Structure 1
Amino acid sequence: MHTQDNWTTTPVTAELLRGALDVERTEHGVLPHRLPARARAQCADPQLAMAEAQPSGVRLVFRTRATVIELDTLPTKRSYVGAPPRPDGVYDLVVDGRPAGRASVTGGNVVIIDMAAGTAEHRPGPPGTLRFTGLPDGAKDVELWLPHNETTELIALRTDAPVEPAPDPGRRVWLHHGSSISHGSDAASPTAIWPALAASLGGVELINLGLAGSALLDPFTARALRDTPADLVSVKIGINLVNADLMRLRAFGPAVHGFLDTVREGHPTTPLLVVSPILCPIHEDTPGPSAPDFTGLAEGRLRFLAMGDPAERAVGKLTLGVIRDELARIVAQRAAEDPNLYYLDGRDLYGEADSAELPLPDNLHPDAATHRHIGERFAELAFATDGAFHDRRVACPPCPP
């Protein structure tokens, strides 16, 4: 029987974290970041600040004989004026590669967002404690995946047996960048976001730079991708540029080239997969911006509307159809000199037939079932024998005598 007296408190350090590009020491503990400090200093957008500090794909990884694990955290939750309370963020426990538990932390800070007024109020709150018990005795590799949609300061890790960093699993590292869909919006839990599912099926280690509302071809994001060691890289481009009505076709093509040029500076021969947007009926032929429809908010229903005019395509406004055509053209052009560059049409992950079966509940974001569908489809396509991420590290057979 373990007692509190023989418990071990282990400092949370970068050595125990995977999936974070930076770790900030705070008043309470440490805060994982998915963009480095230099990138964060180059953009004051509060949407980006919130997105990159939400630890999508970030997990504590260690080896231990512990049967009880406690983690003190200070979450920052979001509340929307006029809407029902949001559920607490979910932590997923994985032991020796298998799901072993799921829990949440109550309390914490709250950001109260009034979307109609465009305001946000921060209310401080107390830390909380996550506790998993009854784990199997014996040495085991533990992964504790942090909530993908809840900023999480890590205060203290306690176990009833010592902790040491887990050994390098020897798997390839997949570095992915995308929008809120890649970030995990409306997924059931951090291991159920589509990139995490695809990574598990493909047998690779995920670094997820899915940034809600912030896949905008920013140069600092390209530099973060450039400077992060990885064996596989993918960039999913398009929907946020339409959502924000950020640029016109004249700017889009050169911006994509520049983004890919920067990534290639650090990964000159790494398999690089460019993924166009999944089907989103409201923006297939209608430009942005997107705007929320608040009429069902009190009942917990939020939908988004396309506010542009299809006729505006003639003056260079972007739609998903325009973006897919341009991305396909750019990749085909570059692939003539870059044999490790690949293109995947997002409608192969979620297209017309999928939309009929699994419609986007708010017109923009997939639900939990659709995340699983997209993750499985991506794994089938990208990790297939003829896929961009097929493992080509196979030793040649010995030559015959």
Structure 2
Amino acid sequence: MIDTPFTPDIVRGAAELEQTPRGVRIHRLPSWARRQFPDPQLLDREAQPSGVRVAVRTTATRIELVTHPSHTSFRGTERPRGRIDVFVDGELRLEDELAGGDATVIDPANGSVQQISGPAQSTVVDGLPATSKTVEFFLPHNEGLELVGLSSDAPLHPVESAKPRWVHHGSSISQGSNAASPSAIWPALAARRGGVELRNLGFGGSCFIDPFVARVIRDEPAECISLKFGINTVNLDAMRVRTLVPAIHGFLDTVRDGHPTTPIVLVSPIFCGIHEDTAGPGGIDPASLGTDQMKFTATGTPGDEALGRLTLQVIRREMRSLMERRSDDANLFFLDGLELYGEADAAAAPLPDNLHPDAATHRLIGERFADQVFAASGPFGSVVRPSQVAPGQ
């Protein structure tokens, strides 16, 4: 078997690869950005490789990827583990559910934390044709991991991709919370449908219009950019109208410094009943503790928006107003999140935990986003060749 090192041209969609005693840890934010505000939740989520793929071109008939995952669970609540999805020439070949690695077990009742060590994980795809093909390992969207080894019975080469590069920034919904697998998070589904190369900057509980993320996007090569703000700002009760609007303006100004004419889509929040008319902060519904489905609730008081506090309806209103004041930017577009998942959708397919969409809704959002944004008449239509768009994929 031939061993292949992990290099940036093989590990696609990452910012940095950090050498560790075991192998390589993936980061979606560069080290300078992580140093600016080393928030534990942000550091945990940026190290979960949502949207990151190990992609190779090869004639190998057998490839083995060895990883060492790390995940967090809540005592008394069963949460599915992450997966590694393997695609061969664009077709799903294998879904490998993670079983090994290290675990952090949190007791939500008293806050106690238990650390459990486990073995490495081996993902093997074999029986492949001995012809040239592209093999992609989609890494888990909801667990951190270290890349330990990559071996095959024929040489592995980087994939030469001519796809337009799409940079997307958002919250846990964009990272993929509650999705079935890493290739089934809504941005990954939209990227395949739109024929683009995804760089996912969705960070669970950590999308706060941060200036350092704007600078990351400013410096990132991109043919199209989307920014989905709102839900985390309400969850944490982090801003008021007075601070939200200038923050979004500043974020856009910074991104425009590096991408003066790149199409940018500003996306408002999808429907979330607990925060439509009620401000944050959000919290865990005590009645759901110890059940198979932990649920979230809003702890603010309806009517607080009169004091400048944020609800999702207020954020959508302010985003529309902001877009009117930036009407001189012909390459800035607005997408109402309710067009991706609205009140009628919530009635038919409620958010299981009151906050995050389920697997079927991730697919719905991904398809709707792609069909509106990557369509020939859509905001990104000018950068996507018609042959790249694959409706129904």
Q: TM-score, normalised by structure 1?
A: 0.93
The alpha-carbon deviation at position 393 of structure 1 amounts to: 7.3
Letter paired with 2:104: V
Deviation at 1:130, TM superposition (A): 1.4
CA contact (8 A) 2:108 2:289 kept: no
| Corresponding position of 2:280 | 288
Aligned-partner Cα distance in 1 for 2:84–2:60? 18
Q: Which amino acid aligns with 2:183?
A: T
What is the match of residue 259 of structure 2? Answer: 267
Q: How does 1:100-115 map to 2 (within 5 A)?
A: 100-115=93-108
One of 329, 347, 352 as aligned partner of 1:361:
352
Aligned equivalents of 1:340, 1:119: Cα separation in 2? 49
1:299-353 deviation per Cα after TM superposition (whole angstroms, max 9, x unaligned) = 3111111100112111111000000011111112112x21100000000000122
Equivalent residue, structure 1, for 2:338: 347
Number of the residue aligned with 1:170: 162
Read off the aligned partner of 1:156 and give its amino acid letter. Answer: G
Could you tell me which of 105, 110, 122 is aligned with 2:115? 122
Paired residue secondary structure (2:36): coil
* Partner of residue 4, structure 1: none
- Residues 1:255 and 2:256 aligned together: no
Match of 1:316 among 297, 308, 320: 308
Alignment partner of 1:384 is 2:375:
yes
Q: Which amino acid aligns with 2:294?
A: L
- Alignment deviations for residues 346-400 of structure 1 (CA, whole Å, 9 cap, x no partner): 0000012211111111110000000000000001110123211112578xxxxxx
Distance 1:132 1:221, change over 3 A: same
After superposition, the C-alpha distances for 1:96-132 in whole angstroms (9 at most, x for unaligned) are 1111111133221111223344454433333221112
1:290 maps to amino acid:
G
- Long gaps (5+) in structure 1: 1-6, 395-401
The residue type equivalent to 1:109 in the other structure is D
Which residue in the other structure is 1:198 paired with? Answer: 190
The 2-side partners of 1:246 and 1:317 are apart by 9
Percent sequence identity over matched residues? 54
How far apart, CA to CA, are the structure 2 residues paired with 1:26 and 1:265?
35
The normalised TM-score by structure 2 is 0.95
- Report Cα offsets for 1:283-312 as digits up to 9, x if no partner: 111000111114334331111111001121
* In 2, Cα distance between equivalents of 1:73 and 1:204: 27
Separation of aligned partners in 2, 1:14 and 1:389: 26
Q: Is the 8 A contact 1:105 1:129 kept in 2?
A: no
1:145 CA drift (Å): 0.4
Q: What amino acid maps onto 1:347 in structure 2?
A: L
Structure 1 pair 229/110, CA: closer, same or farther in 2 (3 Å)? same
1:78-104 alpha-carbon deviations (Å, 9 max, x no partner): 1212223x3321011111111111113
The answer for the alignment partner of 1:215 in structure 2 is: 207
- Taking the aligned partners of 2:280 and 2:110, their CA distance within structure 1 comes to 20
Instruction: Tell me if the contact between 1:104 and 1:130 (Cα under 8 Å) persists in the aligned partners.
Output: no
Cα deviation for residue 234 of structure 1 reads 0.4
